Amino acid sequence: MNKQSAGVGVLVLAAGLVILLGKLGVFAFIGSVFWPLFILIPGVLLHVLYFGRMVPSVTLVPAGILTVVSVILLIGNWFGWDLMRYLWPFFPFAVAVGLYEYYVFGDSRPRTIWTASVGLALLSVIFFGMTLLWTWGIYLLAAVLIGFGAWLVLNRPRIW
């Protein structure tokens, strides 16, 4: 048996294995569970390329955006898409992370980039707080108000 015959045999074996795994649904399952990794990998790759001094610092903006968005999508994919009603404020936060990375690691440090990143981050925090308040946080607020009212009634001064 020569080397060429063994190489062809390995390729035929690999093709058969790929077809078998495809028919068993392994690739469909992996694709449905881990598809956000196709967004995470370019984000991490852009970070690696920048810190390896192969690309300019402006590539940190899409790198930060892609990385944060992929984490949000992984959380939604793994734990249910109904969590997006809570996680949507993190999409503008992804832009804030990208701008902040550019401000910290970039060659020039324009103040407007820092202002925009901090402004977007604060806006995301405000939106996240409002989202929590309008969903389950209103029950917490009601419980706090009931407790405070009961405390006021029970601890009133006795005047007789």
Q: What is the pLDDT of residue 136?
A: 77
User: Quick one: 49 and 120 in the same domain?
Assistant: yes
Distances (CA, A) of 40 to 29, 49, 64, 101: 18, 14, 10, 16
The rounded distance, in Å, linking the Cα atoms of 36 and 3 is: 40
For residues 18 and 73, state if they share a domain: no
Give the range of the structural domain holding residue 28, as residue numbers without chain letter. Answer: 1-34
d(CA 61, CA 104): 11
CA distance 61 to 118: 14
pLDDT tens, 10-37?
A: 888 888 888 888 888 877 887 777 888 8
- pLDDT above 60 for 160: no
Answer yes or no: is pLDDT of 159 > 70: no
> pLDDT tens, 90-149?
999 999 999 999 999 988 888 999 999 999 999 999 999 888 888 777 788 888 899 999
Q: Within 13 Å and on the Cβ side, how many CA atoms surround 90? A: 17
Same domain, 70 and 26: no
Length in residues, the chain: 160
Report the pLDDT value the prediction gives residue 158, as an integer from 0 to 100: 67
pLDDT digits (tens, 9 = 90+) for 36-91: 889 999 999 999 999 999 999 999 999 999 999 999 999 999 999 999 999 999 99
Q: For the chain, first and last CA: distance in Å?
A: 109
Exposed, middle or buried, 135 (CB in 10 Å: 0-12/13-18/19+)? exposed
Q: Is 57 within a domain?
A: yes
Q: What is the pLDDT of residue 48?
A: 95
- Give the per-residue pLDDT at 147: 92
159 domain residue, yes or no: no
Whole-prediction pTM = 0.73
Domain assignment present for 101: yes
Are 55 and 114 within one domain? yes
